[in-house]
Amino acid sequence: MKKSITIFKYKMLLTAMLIGFLSIHALSQKSFEKDVIPTKKGSLEITFIGHGSLMFQFKGKIIHVDPFFRLVDYAQLPKADLILITHQHRDHLDSVALSYITIKKTKIVYTQKCKEKAPYISKALVMKNGDVKKVLGIKIEAFPAYNIIHKRKNGDFFHPKGEGNSYVLSFANKKIYIGGDTENIPEMKALKNIDIAFLPMNLPYTMTPEMVADAAKAFKPKILYPYHLGKTETKLLLDLMKDVKDVEIRIRKMQ
């Protein structure tokens, strides 16, 4: 009887290991949607990894945003010259993903809360709301990212003001806004001259389609990518924005 149980456990372990291997293999083989944006100093390639995770390639530099290992085997992706982390939640600050793409020359930009949560990250640059830095020739502006409506059951906001960053990155003459986890806050709606905006639409933690439409109509990015979508339906956003002619909406696989 004991021998049968041992064999059964052994088979279960082998099965679990096989499933794990196949899952990682499938993730590593995953193909991503990509867009290429022309700038005055060459092409900016955007890779849509999923969730809140993005990868940019510009002038030979690789920039990862909020890498999250559950989406893909980051060991198979290019090493980072620069990593941007918007806030400290585990689907944005992921030690496993970071371990695979961080090398000696990698620069990391994150928040004070990230620093407190991840003491294993050394020599990172803390940016607070309002800071402006230049890293590897890329101008980085840190903007607020927070909730104004959505709260936890205990009444606390999912993303309190002052903890998270949105970032505006300047690639030559193109300005890219990466929202992180935020809602349609006044600081977002006051943005100017944004060429590309990534706005989160993951309920109940960030924006409804109505909130995204409200923000987009206010600051009018030339291209809008709703991202970090969860199960939120993108069709409603398209319907809300159908009469706005100066904002192009691009839907990518960013669940």
Q: Which CATH number fits the domain that encloses residue 118?
A: 3.60.15.10
How much is the pLDDT for 92? Answer: 98
- Rounded Cα gap, residues 124 and 142, in angstroms: 15
Query: Is 168 within the bounds of a domain?
Result: yes
**What is the pTM (predicted TM-score) of this model?**
0.88
Q: Within the chain, how many helices (H) and strands (E) appear?
A: 6, 14
Query: Is 127 within the bounds of a domain?
Result: yes
State pLDDT tens for residues 110-157. Answer: 999 999 999 999 889 999 999 999 999 999 999 999 999 999 999 999
Q: Which of 141, 185, 153, 177 is nearest to 54 (CA)?
A: 177
How much is the pLDDT for 39? Answer: 98
How much is the pLDDT for 123? Answer: 87
Using the predicted structure, report yes or no on whether residue 22 has a pLDDT greater than 60. no
How much is the pLDDT for 18? Answer: 43
Query: Is 17 within the bounds of a domain?
Result: no
State pLDDT tens for residues 27-80. Answer: 444 689 999 999 999 999 999 999 999 999 999 999 999 999 999 999 999 999
In sequence order, the β-bridge partners of residue 143 are: 166
Per the structure, the count of domains in the chain is 1
Query: Is 20 within the bounds of a domain?
Result: no
- CA distances to 30, 55, 89, 167 from 25, in Å: 9, 20, 26, 32
Domain encompassing residue 65: 31-249
Query: Is 175 within the bounds of a domain?
Result: yes
- Rounded Cα gap, residues 70 and 133, in angstroms: 30
Using the predicted structure, report yes or no on whether residue 226 has a pLDDT greater than 70. yes
> Per-residue confidence at 8, pLDDT binned at 50, 70, 90?
very low
Query: Is 22 within the bounds of a domain?
Result: no
Query: Is 215 within the bounds of a domain?
Result: yes
Based on the number of CB atoms within 10 Å of its own CB, is 193 exposed (0-12), middle (13-18) or buried (19 or more)?
exposed
How much is the pLDDT for 122? Answer: 85
Query: Is 86 within the bounds of a domain?
Result: yes
